Amino acid sequence: WAVIAPNISAQWNFNLAMIESIRAAKASYEAGEISWEQTAKEMEVNVKKMFYGLLLQEESLNIQRDKLNNAKARYEQASINYKNGLVPELSVLNSQVNYENQKPEVLSAEQSFKQQKDMFVFLLGLPFGTDIELKGTVDSKFVEVNADELVSKYLENNDEVRSLKKNIELLNISLNASRFSTFTPSLSVNYGFQPIVYAGGEWNSLGDATDKGSLSFTLVYSNLIDMLPFSANMQKMKDTKQQIAQAELGLEQLIQNTEIEVHTLVDNLYKCQANIEAMMRNVELARKAYNSTLRAYNNGTQELLEVRDSENSLNQARLGLMNEKFNYISALLDLESKLNLNLH
């Protein structure tokens, strides 16, 4: 009698397509990283734009508050001038009506600003009602950039370009895997071993077992039908080739569109810079005109309408300047995001 241990066997299969599968897994992981980076950068740009937008809205609110305070001061000055006999009662009433009409506008602007701050808090992932204080200015240093140089050096950094290139790489890997799986054999290595532990009253070590095992090598081709031109497998490879061609065409179009967008953003930067410089001069002129008109009104030599027109011109110039600065920052953020670089 004898004691026979359980059968021990091992099998290893290999095909060149397995190498492509490893490459595909690696490329798929890298594509996921690109997608995650793109989403994170988009969120960062949105947060920055909303932050500067809130600063712009806060500045607009401050202008409205200044306008309300000025209206109150004119009403009080008109009352003093009326008591001194310098202006008729109608001037006092007009200035009072103008003052009272601006109060609801300021309250509405304050409520709108509060709602936007709450939205910003939500975007940051903070609990609702969290009070935040904005610190910063809608301002940025002017940068000197050349669109052609940016395109030649940094176009490949664009996340959409990187993502599409990675997808093309995945399609090519998939096509190669299909080819290897179809046209190359699979190697199968088998080894079996069943040791006899006890036989004829003697104990045998595994090395001395009477069963020395068996080793076999087998080359196996897939179903020959898959190699036929009209088979589903071959049609799948044709479809993959067509997808690659379409993706490569899309990549060319994407590169051209990105180049156009970069030139447009750079043009916007210089346009905003020129507008900002012109508007800064305009603000100074409007402020001088307003101060001159206000002094004349306080002395009773100018009508209230002239003061209001002068003040509106000043406020429009200030808001226009702030808006243009915001446009410059937005264009700069878009350009940095488009090419994955830091320009300021």
Domains of the chain (ranges; CATH) run: 2-339 (1.20.1600.10)
209 has pLDDT over 60: no
Q: What is the pLDDT of residue 129?
A: 80
Q: What is the pLDDT of residue 212?
A: 62
**Side chain identity at 144, as an amino acid letter?**
E
Q: What is the pLDDT of residue 80?
A: 85
Question: How much is the mean pLDDT over the chain?
Answer: 86
126 has pLDDT over 80: yes
On the CB side of 306, CA atoms within 13 Å amount to 13
- Give the separation between CA 301 and CA 150, rounded to whole angstroms: 58
* Digit-coded pLDDT (tens) for 324-338: 999 999 999 999 999
15 contacts 221 by C-beta, under 8 angstroms? no
- Residue 241 banded pLDDT, cuts 50, 70, 90: very high
Q: What is the pLDDT of residue 198?
A: 56
269 has pLDDT over 90: yes
214 has pLDDT over 50: yes
- Residue 5 banded pLDDT, cuts 50, 70, 90: low
What secondary structure, in 3-state letters, does the chain show?
A: CEEECCCEEEEEEECHHHHHHHHHHHHHHHHHHHHHHHHHHHHHHHHHHHHHHHHHHHHHHHHHHHHHHHHHHHHHHHHHHHHCCCCCHHHHHHHHHHHHHHHHHHHHHHHHHHHHHHHHHHHCCCCCCCCCCCCCCCCCCCCCCCHHHHHHHHHHHCHHHHHHHHHHHHHHHHHHHHHHHHHCCEEEEEEEECCEEEECCEECCHHHCCCCCEEEEEEECCCHHHHCCCCHHHHHHHHHHHHHHHHHHHHHHHHHHHHHHHHHHHHHHHHHHHHHHHHHHHHHHHHHHHHHHHHHHHCCCCCHHHHHHHHHHHHHHHHHHHHHHHHHHHHHHHHHHHHCCCCC
Q: How far is CA 247 from CA 164, 166, 278, in A?
A: 7, 10, 46
195 has pLDDT over 90: no
- Give the separation between CA 140 and CA 272, rounded to whole angstroms: 11
Count of C-beta atoms within a 10 Å radius of residue 21: 15
**Across 99-128, average pLDDT:** 90
Between 18 and 208, the more confident residue is 18
* Digit-coded pLDDT (tens) for 23-55: 999 999 999 999 999 999 999 999 999 999 999
DSSP-assigned beta bridge partners for residue 187:
14, 219
278 has pLDDT over 80: yes
267 has pLDDT over 90: yes
* Digit-coded pLDDT (tens) for 64-87: 998 888 888 888 888 888 888 777
- Residue 206 banded pLDDT, cuts 50, 70, 90: very low
4 contacts 196 by C-beta, under 8 angstroms? yes
Q: What is the pLDDT of residue 197?
A: 59
**Across 212-228, average pLDDT:** 72
261 has pLDDT over 80: yes
% of residues, the chain, pLDDT over 70: 91
Q: What is the pLDDT of residue 34?
A: 92
* Digit-coded pLDDT (tens) for 147-169: 999 999 999 999 999 999 999 99
Lowest mean pLDDT among 100-109, 178-187, 214-223, 278-287: 214-223
